[in-house]
Amino acid sequence: MRQPVKRHPGDNTPVTALGAVDTLPLVSTSFTPPAASPSSLSARAAWAMLLALACGFALSQAFRTLAAIMGPSLASELHLSTQQLGLWAATFHFSFGVMQLAMGVSLDLLGVRRTILLALPMAVAGALLCSQADSYALLMLGQALIGTGCAPAFLVCTVFIGQHFSAQRFTAVSGLVMSISNLGVLATATPLAWLIEVSSWRWSFGVLAGCSALAWGAIWWLVREPGGGARQAHAGGQRPSPLAALRGLLGLFALPHTLGLVAFGAVAYAGFITLRGLWLGPLLIERHGFSLVASGNVALAMTLAGMASPAIFGRLDPGGARRIRWMLTFAAIAALLIGTMGLARSAWADVLLAIAYGLLSGYGILQYGYVRDAYPVAIRGRALSLFTMAMFLGIALMQWVSGLAASLAHRAGLEPFSAALLAMSALLLTGAFLFWRLPRSPLAA
């Protein structure tokens, strides 16, 4: 017998407005909704474990953004085209994104600790392979291994927050962890540029492999989960098969507001990562003649701005319809900043616009609050999982499309960087437009 949809206090939304919510199979994938009952961990222990997990996420962020500084040296030694460089950078995000479903099922079966401890050694192996690569094929294989090994780094933090912190603190703590993880982005600015200048890009991969091994050790030492960590929240105590989990994710598209969320999620974070992680260094070096360390200093300033931004937006989240207006407004401003960088040829303009984009980049954290409000508790886990897959596959898409645009720029008489940045701006506007025009959840209004 079908149970009626439970309403939150004060929620007068008709059941029909949710479409077929109560007919979707109740299969969790990658996220546990924030716990309704207090965590069995002390606050001090929970924060210590979360910080250890955030170390793994910070390494993931470092691997995600090293192409902007490493790209010119790597392309020069291995004779890579602009399109090949973009595809190499996108491979991390593609492998990271497609593994989200498998990592979600692993979290159900094994819990947070064992999932990250089993995956992270692949990132170490991939980094070591890249450090020894003498061909594009080996470089791509190493990058795919790194993306796979880092795949649960973000998920384990969010699941842990959901399990051990209150629902009211979910967005704020998530924003703080995102800010902490940007220490990895910080490391791929001036420090990485200096390391490449005094040694080589190969040593950079070796250092990141060593840091990843240290992060694995910190997680092994500090993170403990009550009851072994495997989740028991499935109907009848049964855990989902990968096929059932995939059906659960695809079933979300029966809800009219899912497509708009996926479109927005695919571009919001992708803009920051693609600019900071792929194009900023080559643009400053080749367009304006900056040295590698000078371009690293600009990346450092942009990263410092980006580190504060998620925590600020997380605390200022206005909720409801006002949050949606903020999301759309800041996405439009982000597209304008990127587009202006594409058209401007001033070094100072490019530097200031990049830093301004870093300050703005935290608006993407508002999406987590929207997802929480847009879906009933029974399917919120799948919604967050689908959103995360969209976010990281969107980064792969934006890096590949911008690389393709740069390689074809000469046919339209454009500078490669102008074509790449204008393509990014167009993708940001497209995602925001679809989110604006497609149906949105009445629960989040």
Domains: count for the chain? 1
Cα–Cα distance, 307 to 12 (Å, whole number): 39
Instruction: Name the pLDDT band for 124 (thresholds 50, 70, 90).
Output: very high
Quickly list H helices, 344-376: 347-360, 366-374
For position 315, what pLDDT does the model report?
Answer: 84
In a domain, 251, yes or no: yes
φ and ψ at 62, to 5 degrees?
-65, -50
* Domain assignment of residue 8, yes or no: no
Q: Is the pLDDT of residue 19 over 50?
A: no
Q: Is 275 exposed, middle or buried (0-12, 13-18, 19+ CB in 10 A)?
A: buried
Q: Is the pLDDT of residue 37 over 80?
A: no
CATH number of the domain bearing residue 47: 1.20.1250.20
pLDDT band for position 233 (cuts 50, 70, 90): very low
**Distance in angstroms (rounded) separating the CA atoms of residues 256 and 166:** 29
- Compute the distance between CA of residue 47 and CA of residue 43 in angstroms, rounded to an integer: 6
Whole-angstrom distance, CA of residue 69 vs CA of residue 234: 45
Task: Say what the pLDDT of residue 325 is.
Answer: 95
Q: With CA atoms as reference, report the closest residue to 68 among 282, 233, 273.
A: 282
- Here the tokens at position 348 are 């100072």
Q: Which residue has the higher pLDDT, 11 or 186?
A: 186
Q: Does the pLDDT value for residue 15 go beyond 50? A: no
- Check residues 5 and 201 and name the one with the higher pLDDT: 201
Indicate the DSSP class of residue 41.
S
What whole-number distance in Å separates Cα of residue 290 and Cα of residue 367? 36
DSSP 291: -
pLDDT band at 245 (very low <50, low <70, confident <90, very high): low
78 found inside a domain: yes
Q: Is residue 250 included in any domain, yes or no?
A: yes
Residue 7 in any domain: the answer is no
Please tell me the least confidently modeled range out of 111-120, 130-139, 285-294, 366-375. Answer: 366-375
Give residue 214's pLDDT.
96
What predicted TM-score, i.e. pTM, was given to this entire model?
0.76
Predicted confidence at residue 39, as pLDDT, reads: 58
pLDDT of amino acid 236: 47
Structure tokens at 72: 């010119």
Measured CA distances, 200 to 67, 195, 328, 396 (Å): 14, 7, 42, 26
Please report the pLDDT score of residue 445 as a whole number: 63
Residues 6+ apart with CB under 8 A from 346: none
- Give the lowest-confidence range in 26-35, 177-186, 311-320: 26-35
In a domain, 285, yes or no: yes
Cα dist. 40→33, 45, 224, 225 in Å?
Answer: 16, 10, 11, 10
| DSSP H helices in 227-319 | 242-250, 258-274, 280-282, 288, 292-316
- Higher-pLDDT residue of 45 and 128 is 128
Q: Which domain holds residue 34?
A: 29-234+242-444
Burial class (CB in 10 A: 0-12, 13-18, 19+), 36: exposed
The set of residues, in sequence order, having a beta carbon less than 8 Å from that of 266 and lying 6+ positions away, is 390, 391, 393, 394, 397, 431
Euclidean distance between CA atoms 175 and 217, whole angstroms: 25
Q: How much is the pLDDT for 20? A: 40
What pLDDT score does 337 carry? 97
Residue 226's pLDDT is what? 73
Task: Say whether pLDDT at 440 is over 90.
Answer: no
pLDDT computed for residue 34 by the predictor = 44
**Dihedral of CA 349/264/64/89: which sign?**
negative
**DSSP characters over 377-395:** HHHHHHHHHHHHHHHHHHH
**pLDDT at residue 62 greater than cutoff 80:** yes
Residue 21 lies in a domain: no
Average pLDDT in the chain? 84
Lowest mean pLDDT among 55-59, 189-193, 239-243, 275-279: 239-243
CA distance 415 to 343: 9
Contact residues for 178 (Cβ-Cβ < 8 A; gap 6+): 310, 311, 314, 362, 365
**Which amino acid type is present at position 271?**
G
**Residues listed for the chain:** 445
Instruction: Please report the pLDDT score of residue 35 as a whole number.
Output: 44
3-state SS class at 210: helix
Residue 23's pLDDT band, with cuts at 50, 70 and 90, is: very low
Give me the pLDDT at residue 423, please.
97
Tell me, what's the pLDDT at 17?
Answer: 37
Q: Which two tokens stand for residue 172?
A: 């704020």
Q: How confident is the model at residue 371 (pLDDT cuts 50, 70, 90)?
A: confident
pLDDT confidence tier of residue 8, bands split at 50, 70 and 90: very low
**16 pLDDT tier (thresholds 50, 70, 90):** very low
CA-to-CA distance for 384 and 367, rounded, in angstroms? 10
**DSSP one-letter code for 276:** I
Over residues 46-69, the mean pLDDT reads 92
Dist CA 268 CA 321 (whole Å)? 18
Per-residue pLDDT averaged across 255-265, rounded?
93
Among 20-34, 146-160, 402-416, 419-433, which stretch is predicted with the lowest mean pLDDT? 20-34
Q: Is the pLDDT of residue 381 over 50?
A: yes
pLDDT at position 242 is 64
Look at residue 383 and tell me if it is in a domain. Answer: yes
Query: How sure is the predictor about 12, in pLDDT bands with cuts at 50, 70 and 90?
Result: very low
Tell me which range, 32-46, 177-191, 410-424, is most confidently predicted by mean pLDDT. Answer: 410-424
User: Do the Cβ atoms of 362 and 311 come closer than 8 Å?
Assistant: yes
Averaged pLDDT, 178-194: 88
